[in-house]
Every structure is written in structure tokens, then in C-alpha cells.
Amino acid sequence: KLRPGGVLIVDNMFWHGQIFDAKDQTEETEGVRRLTTLITSDPGWISSIVPLRDGLLVAYRAGR
């Protein structure tokens, strides 16, 4: 559990480009998609995906 004020950094958010392939519905690819949706749609997070190499998610836990 990350406390408010904490920062979450996740590498490989583009999952070797597989997240852009709608036909790829493997468990791993869907997991990356779910994490992206979870963090970016939650108002308790301020987040951005940096398009550097294979994608880097940087998220600040703002709290509720």
C-alpha cells in the first residue's frame, strides 16, 4: 500500500508494443492494460506515461 505523497514508477508500460495490438489478449498484456486503466482513471492518482523506450508510468499518490 502506497501512502499519500508516495510515487509509483512502473517500467515496460507499452509491453513491447503489444498493448497497441487489439488482438493480443494474453493475460500479461491485459494485466498491463488493467493497471493503466486503474491508475489513470482513479482521481487519487496524478499520473503520466512517459513515451521513453518501452513506456514508463509515473504516478503520484495524491490521496482522497
Judged by DSSP in three states, 16 sits in helix
| pTM for the model | 0.85
Query: Residue 33 CA to chain centroid, in angstroms?
Result: 7
Cα(14)–Cα(50) distance, rounded to whole angstroms? 10
Residue 64 has pLDDT above 70, yes or no: no
Residue 1 has pLDDT above 90, yes or no: no
Domain boundaries, the chain: 7-61
The letter for the amino acid at 2 is: L
Of 29 and 63, the structure prediction assigns the larger pLDDT to 29
pLDDT of 38 reads 96
Provide the terminal-to-terminal Cα distance of the chain, rounded to the nearest Å.
14
40 pLDDT band, cuts 50/70/90, is very high
Q: What is the mean pLDDT of the chain?
A: 95
